[in-house]
């Protein structure tokens, strides 16, 4: 049985008669990296603010670590680190002094500062004024501040937004090490499918405030599998021959279309048709990328 770090039921937020988030049922397992994916304005940040107790839901419930956020808010939030939008910092202070201000509020040991700076790769820049940091370094400093309180859950809202390719890679690798090296569950929101695909184990896709997909990245890939097209002589006879062998196929003009299978299965199909004197003019794989599938879901209102 999964141990849900986050579980929401019917979570909704309404503004002036319009639902920013509607009937959201998230399930995030311990030790997972959960990619919360959707276009800008889909309701990601509103959801995260409800999870952090920053805004009150219109309806529904939030349970984290098996506790009700409504009843045990303070004890839950002590176990969470978060970075929502851009991190705040004092530009004239160095990284250590910025973190020291947060450390005193949290009441954690002073040694924790060096530890989190090492985790995010800023140990060698610890005494540099933050105003001289790149945007990627500032994001890593924001993650360091989120890690100061020894969180069991890390919530990151669009952490790669505005970064150059080098900064994106740094943040991506940092996120991937959280469960493996530090035992921290991660919820990362993004509008970029490519980033979620490369970091997350599970993905939830939100469109206009509604959750339209929630499953593993592996199963999302399976949803995006394409089909095979065989252009053959006498397609009707070839179709009957395949169906007699138990191959599910449909005819489209001179082509036979069937679900993509492995190379050996394709070879057997081609061999069987050739043995029945069918000429094979072309064998073509018609791929549907994850990007195509994502755009279909969020752009056309589709649902898996």
Q: How much is the pLDDT for 304?
A: 41
Confidence band of 182 (pLDDT split at 50, 70, 90): very high
Confidence band of 303 (pLDDT split at 50, 70, 90): very low
Q: Which is more confident, 220 or 200?
A: 200
Q: How much is the pLDDT for 58?
A: 95
Confidence band of 213 (pLDDT split at 50, 70, 90): confident
Residue bearing tokens 């069991």:
152
Relative to beta strand 202-207, strand 33-37 is parallel
Nearest to 297 by CA among 226, 214, 218: 214
Q: Which is more confident, 193 or 173?
A: 173
Q: How much is the pLDDT for 251?
A: 82
- The full set of domains in the chain, from first to last, is 4-79+151-222 (3.40.50.300), 226-287 (3.30.70.100)
Digit-coded pLDDT (tens) for 239-284: 888 888 888 788 888 888 877 667 788 888 888 889 888 898 988 8
Relative to beta strand 280-286, strand 227-232 is antiparallel
When pLDDT is averaged across residues 67-88 and rounded to a whole number, the result is 91
* Separation between Cα atoms, residue 147 and residue 159, nearest integer Å: 14
Confidence band of 163 (pLDDT split at 50, 70, 90): confident
For residue 72, count CB atoms less than 10 angstroms from its CB and return exposed for 0-12, middle for 13-18, buried for 19 or more: middle
By mean pLDDT, which of 51-60, 71-80, 186-195, 262-271 is the weakest? 262-271
By mean pLDDT, which of 7-21, 59-73, 214-228, 235-249 is the weakest? 214-228
Q: What is the DSSP string of 91-138?
A: TTSBHHHHHHHHHHHHT--THHHHHHHHHTT-GGGTTSBGGGS-HHHH
* Percent of the chain predicted with pLDDT > 70: 91
Q: How much is the pLDDT for 227?
A: 73
When pLDDT is averaged across residues 54-72 and rounded to a whole number, the result is 95
By mean pLDDT, which of 1-10, 118-127, 146-155 is the weakest? 1-10
Q: What is the DSSP string of 155-182?
A: EEESTTTT--HHHHHHHHHHHHHHHHHH
């Amino acid at each position: 049985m999964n141990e849900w770090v986050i579980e929401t039921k019917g979570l909704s937020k309404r503004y002036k008669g319009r639902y920013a988030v509607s009937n959201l049922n998230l399930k995030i397992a311990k030790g997972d990296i959960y990619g919360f994916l959707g276009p800008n304005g889909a309701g990601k940040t509103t959801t995260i603010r409800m999870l952090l107790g920053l805004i009150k839901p219109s309806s529904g419930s939030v349970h984290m670590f098996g506790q009700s956020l409504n009843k045990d808010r303070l004890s839950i939030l002590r176990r969470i680190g978060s970075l929502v939008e851009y991190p705040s910092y004092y530009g004239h202070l160095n990284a250590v002094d910025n973190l020291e201000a947060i450390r005193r509020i949290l009441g954690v040991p002073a040694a924790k500062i060096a530890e989190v700076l090492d985790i995010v790769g800023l140990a060698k820049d610890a005494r540099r004024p933050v105003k001289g940091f790149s945007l990627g370094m500032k994001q890593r400093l924001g993650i360091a501040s989120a890690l100061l309180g020894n969180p069991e859950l890390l919530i990151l809202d669009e952490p790669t937004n505005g970064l150059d390719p080098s900064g994106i890679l740094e943040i991506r690798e940092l996120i991937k090490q959280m469960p493996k090296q530090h035992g921290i569950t991660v919820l990362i929101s993004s509008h970029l499918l490519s980033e979620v695909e490369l970091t997350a184990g599970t993905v939830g896709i939100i469109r206009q405030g509604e959750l339209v997909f929630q499953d593993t990245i592996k199963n999302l890939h399976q949803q995006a599998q394409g089909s095979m097209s065989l252009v053959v002589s006498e397609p009707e006879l070839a179709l009957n021959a395949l169906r007699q062998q138990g191959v599910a196929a449909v005819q489209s003009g001179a082509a036979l279309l069937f679900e993509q299978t492995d190379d050996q299965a394709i070879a057997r199909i081609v061999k069987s048709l050739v043995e029945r004197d069918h000429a094979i003019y072309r064998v073509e794989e018609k791929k549907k990328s994850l990007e195509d599938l994502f755009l279909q879901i969020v752009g056309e209102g589709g649902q898996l």
